[in-house]
Amino acid sequence: MIPHVLPTYNRADLAFERGEGTWAITADGTRYLDLGAGIAVNALGHANPDLVAALTEQAGKIWHVSNLYHIPQQEKLADLLVENTFADTAFITNSGTEAAELAIKMVRKYWDHKGDPDRHEILTFEGAFHGRSTGAIAASGAEKMVKGFGPLMPGFRHLPWGDMEALKAAITNRTAAVMLEPVQGEGGIRPLPDADLRLIRALCDQTGALLVLDEVQSGMGRTGKLFAHEYAGIAPDIMMVAKGIGGGFPLGAVLATEQAAAGMVAGTHGSTYGGNPLACAVGARVMEIVTQPEFLSEVNRKAGLFRQKLEGLVAAHPEVFELVRGQGLMLGLKCKVAPADLVRAGYAEQVLTVAAADNTLRLLPPLTISDAEISEAVARLDRAAGRLDV
């Protein structure tokens, strides 16, 4: 008999009743060190008092207001996003997938608005993940996501990840956009070198194609910059944000330059819940915290400490791990064993991690993780790996 919850997930036999900072706690009080943070979502830790206050304060006033009216909390969040990024404008969504959908629509509308509606090919990369809507799976093209869901939305061409020669050969002055994650998340914590990101920007500039960056997983301080593309000193035309921006409350956004958003006039897009007061009150508070310079310098300091300890872990278990990669607190351990086995061994040591493609174990802890918790995390990962040592 089919379960009452549609069985689309492979779930661990675990449930959490509450959380405290970097800890997720079961009903019987067992404490798990959370290095997954809901897959890069709980950026400021579980039950962060600032975010609880922002949410409950707003909850006592008004929960939902239609976008038929002004929503001051949404305007405040948009102001913070625009002031701290390349963007001139923001549309607030409830999730990363919705942000991807709008980004794709915005690209198409941009060219339509310029009088060139047939210019709609978007170049994407193998290993990409932009969500599970029909548009987002077509953008990814991965067999495991698209199988059985055809006919797929047309307009995407998939290139090998990081293959700049393939991109140079594919991009033309008929290309509508290039869309990618600066650090692939689901694809296995694979950062694109800064030089490649700069080359992609230059190729877009030469051809007129829009550059669309998906920073749903890599954004909001995760890599030690507010957004990962800042390392390369470039800016996109359109960017998707989600996950960490809500600190655990469903929230996303599409940011864009005025030029890229030129076609998105009244009536071209909308959402009942997107930009609601509850989500935006939390998101604005997250932005205020993450944009403090000392917050990001602490992320970088802790990332250095974590990474150094992980190098030691890899050296101690050469049969289990191959290498450490990633940026900031978006870390991956490329494994020689199946990462799912390590995730399971982690449960036995009360540490939560997340598997990704390319045989990689993902470590995406709350950005507020303490030095002591980093040491504890590595001790637990060491014991977990010990369970798989051959």
Ligand X SMILES: Cc1ncc(COP(=O)(O)O)c(C=O)c1O
- Residues forming a β-bridge with 77: none
Percent helix, strand, coil in the chain, to 5, is 40, 20, 45
Q: How far is the CB of 223 from ligand X (least distance, A)?
A: 13
Q: How far is the CB of 100 from ligand X (least distance, A)?
A: 6
Give the DSSP H/E element, type plus range, for residue 344. helix 339-348
Site for ligand X in 187-226 (CB under 6 A): 214, 216-217
Q: How far is the CB of 97 from ligand X (least distance, A)?
A: 3
> Residue 19 is which amino acid?
G
Which C-beta is closer to ligand X: that of 102 or that of 303?
Answer: 102
Site for ligand X in 13-42 (CB under 6 A): 39
What token pair was written down for 87? 């963007």
Of the candidates 72, 82, 36, 49, the residue with the CA atom closest to the CA atom of residue 244: 36
Q: Which of 34, 101, 121, 186 binds ligand X (CB under 6 A)?
A: 186
- Residues forming a β-bridge with 158: 124
- Residues forming a β-bridge with 351: 33
Give the DSSP H/E element, type plus range, for residue 339. helix 339-348
Give the DSSP H/E element, type plus range, for residue 159. strand 156-159
DSSP per-residue letters across 182-236: SEESTTTSEEPPHHHHHHHHHHHHHHTPEEEEE-TTTTTTTTSSSSGGGGGT---
Region binding ligand X by CB under 6 A among candidate stretches 45-53, 179-187, 297-305, 307-315: 179-187
Which C-beta is closer to ligand X: that of 187 or that of 224?
Answer: 187
State yes or no: 271 annotated in a binding site: yes
Is 382 buried (19+), middle (13-18) or exposed (0-12) by CB count in 10 A? middle
Distances (CA, A) of 244 to 222, 283, 383: 8, 9, 29
DSSP per-residue letters across 232-284: GT---SEEEE-GGGGBTB--EEEEE-TTTTTT--TTS---SSTT-HHHHHHHH
Which C-beta is closer to ligand X: that of 39 or that of 262?
Answer: 39
State yes or no: 129 annotated in a binding site: yes
Which C-beta is closer to ligand X: that of 253 or that of 384?
Answer: 253
* Cα angle for residues 41, 45, 48 (degrees, 5° grid): 115
Q: How far is the CB of 117 from ligand X (least distance, A)?
A: 26
Does 366 interact with ligand X (rule: CB under 6 A)? no
State yes or no: 383 annotated in a binding site: no
Report the residue number whose CB is nearest to ligand X: 96
Which C-beta is closer to ligand X: that of 183 or that of 289?
Answer: 183
C-alpha 170/C-alpha 160 separation (Å) is: 11
Q: How far is the CB of 177 from ligand X (least distance, A)?
A: 15
Q: Which of 74, 97, 276, 350 binds ligand X (CB under 6 A)?
A: 97
Q: How far is the CB of 185 from ligand X (least distance, A)?
A: 4
State yes or no: 97 annotated in a binding site: yes
Which C-beta is closer to ligand X: that of 210 or that of 216?
Answer: 216
Site for ligand X in 268-307 (CB under 6 A): none
Q: How far is the CB of 349 from ligand X (least distance, A)?
A: 25
Q: Which of 19, 45, 185, 332 binds ligand X (CB under 6 A)?
A: 185
Give the DSSP H/E element, type plus range, for residue 96. helix 96-113
Which C-beta is closer to ligand X: that of 97 or that of 124?
Answer: 97
Q: Strand 351-352 and strand 31-34: pairing?
A: parallel
Does 242 interact with ligand X (rule: CB under 6 A)? yes
Q: Which of 101, 121, 181, 373 binds ligand X (CB under 6 A)?
A: 181
Site for ligand X in 124-153 (CB under 6 A): 129-131
Region binding ligand X by CB under 6 A among candidate stretches 123-131, 259-267, 348-356, 381-389: 123-131
* Site residues for ligand X per CB under 6 A: 39, 95-97, 100, 129-131, 181, 185-186, 214, 216-217, 242
**Which residue ranges make up the annotated binding site for N(2)-acetyl-L-ornithine?**
132, 271
Annotated binding site: 96-97, 129, 132, 214-217, 271-272
